[in-house]
């Protein structure tokens, strides 16, 4: 399968100093770990499929070549950035040597999946949430298949924020130091692509950088956004949903978008009793249970729910530990994680060491 024949957008780069055989083995392991289909696997090429497009790694004489194909320019860029991050974990020197074939024409520009949004209003929503209404430049790619995005928030004390740009090698250069951007992930709660209206909800927690930003931001402020990405509305007719407060907006979006004949259960974990007041649309086929945090975490509950209803899709958005526990269960039980959705929306800080 040639990427050039199947995708409208493509790019390639040499990976100097990275032996094909070593990369081939690592890519095969990563594909198995993340349940990504391997569509070509020979002594000369390994190609994997993702939701954004395909990666092909090829042996060409003494070099290793990476070729990427996607159906959209922003998805191609997402794949390039992801590969750079992966290679940087393996061999940083090789990542620094990446030179994408389409880099020169884009050097100095904003990344294709980056845009600016202008804040119009922030209001309170029951359950300790802040609802942010903004005007985006382009929402044409925000469909039910992609409902998540990242904000790019500069330090509010900076008079002149810095923004990412593409280097001459085609890689994203993000501001560093005092100019670094906070990039939390959120869910589109409401949107109107024609007008650019974008609405998202932020769960308030003390000390949270995004919380403090939303509490103090003034209408007319411009910040960055990257996306869309991350998963969309499930297509399953039978499903069990598990989420803590960080996932409530996504659950609300799912409930109002699911087909009327969908059925299942929603279990919401409350770290704060007030968060149970967050408004959720009603769906006649899904029951909603709110329970206080403590005891079995959402990972345990999801595993038990899967045993009771193995024909149901599991959708989980919670703290990293719960997500890891569920993924480990999929692997040990021989289940295909691609049939479900599991996402770590946040990570619990490590406990402070006692030096007394």
Parent domain of 336: 238-346
- Tell me, what's the pLDDT at 33? 75
Same domain assignment for residues 127 and 35: no
Looking at the fold, whether 141 and 64 belong to one and the same domain comes out as: no
Q: For the whole model, what pTM was predicted?
A: 0.81
Query: For residues 154 and 182, what is the distance between their CA atoms, to the nearest angstrom?
Result: 6
Q: How many domains does the chain have?
A: 3
Same domain as 135, residue 68: no
Omega cis (within 30) before 228: yes
**313-332 burial, b if ≥16 CB within 10 A, otherwise e?**
bbbbbbbeebbebbbebbee
Same domain assignment for residues 211 and 251: no
If asked whether residues 198 and 258 sit together in one domain, one would say no
pLDDT tens for the 356 residues of the chain, in order: 576 678 889 999 999 989 999 899 999 988 887 778 899 999 999 999 988 899 999 999 889 999 999 988 888 888 888 888 888 887 888 888 899 988 877 789 999 889 999 999 999 999 999 999 999 999 988 887 778 999 999 998 898 999 999 988 888 889 999 999 999 999 999 999 999 999 999 999 888 899 999 999 999 999 999 988 777 899 999 999 999 999 999 999 999 999 999 999 999 999 889 999 999 999 999 999 999 998 789 999 999 999 999 999 999 999 999 999 999 999 899 888 888 999 988 887 766 554 44
- Is residue 355 one of the residues assigned to a domain? no
147 in a structural domain? yes
Give domain status of residue 80, yes or no: yes
Q: What three-state secondary structure class fits 77?
A: helix
Token pair for 295: 């005891």
* pLDDT recorded at residue 1: 59
Q: What CATH number is associated with residue 285? A: 3.40.50.80
Q: Measured between alpha carbons, how far is 204 from 215 in angstroms, rounded to an integer?
A: 9
Backbone angles phi, psi at 20, to 5 degrees: -60, -40
- Contacts for 178 with CB less than 8 Å, ≥ 6 apart: 155, 158
């Amino acid at each position: 399968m040639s990427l050039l024949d199947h995708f409208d957008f493509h790019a390639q780069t040499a990976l100097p100093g990275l032996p094909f055989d070593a990369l081939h083995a690592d890519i095969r392991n990563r594909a198995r770990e993340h349940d990504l289909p391997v569509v070509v696997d020979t002594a000369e090429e390994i190609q994997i499929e993702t939701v954004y497009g395909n990666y092909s790694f090829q042996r060409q004489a003494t070099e290793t070549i990476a070729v990427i194909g996607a159906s959209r320019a922003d998805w191609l860029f997402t794949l390039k950035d992801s590969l750079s991050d992966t290679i940087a974990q393996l061999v940083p020197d090789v990542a620094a040597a990446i030179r994408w074939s389409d880099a020169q024409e884009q050097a100095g520009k904003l990344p294709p999946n980056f845009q600016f949004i202008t804040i119009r209003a922030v209001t309170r929503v029951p359950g300790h949430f802040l609802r942010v209404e903004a005007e985006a430049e382009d929402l044409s790619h925000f469909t039910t298949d992609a409902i998540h995005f990242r904000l790019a928030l500069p330090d509010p004390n900076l008079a002149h924020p810095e923004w990412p740009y593409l280097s001459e090698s085609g890689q994203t250069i993000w501001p560093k130091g005092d100019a670094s951007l906070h990039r939390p992930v959120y869910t589109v709660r409401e949107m109107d692509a024609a007008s650019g209206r974008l609405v998202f909800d932020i769960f308030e927690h003390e000390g949270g950088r995004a919380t403090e930003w939303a509490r103090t931001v003034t209408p007319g402020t411009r910040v960055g956004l990257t996306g869309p990405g991350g998963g969309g509305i499930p297509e399953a007719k039978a499903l069990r949903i598990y989420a803590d407060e960080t996932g409530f907006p996504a659950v609300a979006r799912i409930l109002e978008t699911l087909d009327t004949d969908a059925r299942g259960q929603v279990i919401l974990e409350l770290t704060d009793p007030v968060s149970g007041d967050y408004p959720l649309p009603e769906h006649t086929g899904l029951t909603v249970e709110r329970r206080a945090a403590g005891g079995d975490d959402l990972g345990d509950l999801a595993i038990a729910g899967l045993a009771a209803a193995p024909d149901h899709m599991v959708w989980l958005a919670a703290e990293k530990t719960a997500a890891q526990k569920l993924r480990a269960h999929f692997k040990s039980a021989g289940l295909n994680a691609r049939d479900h959705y599991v996402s770590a929306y946040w990570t619990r800080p490590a406990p402070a060491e006692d030096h007394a």
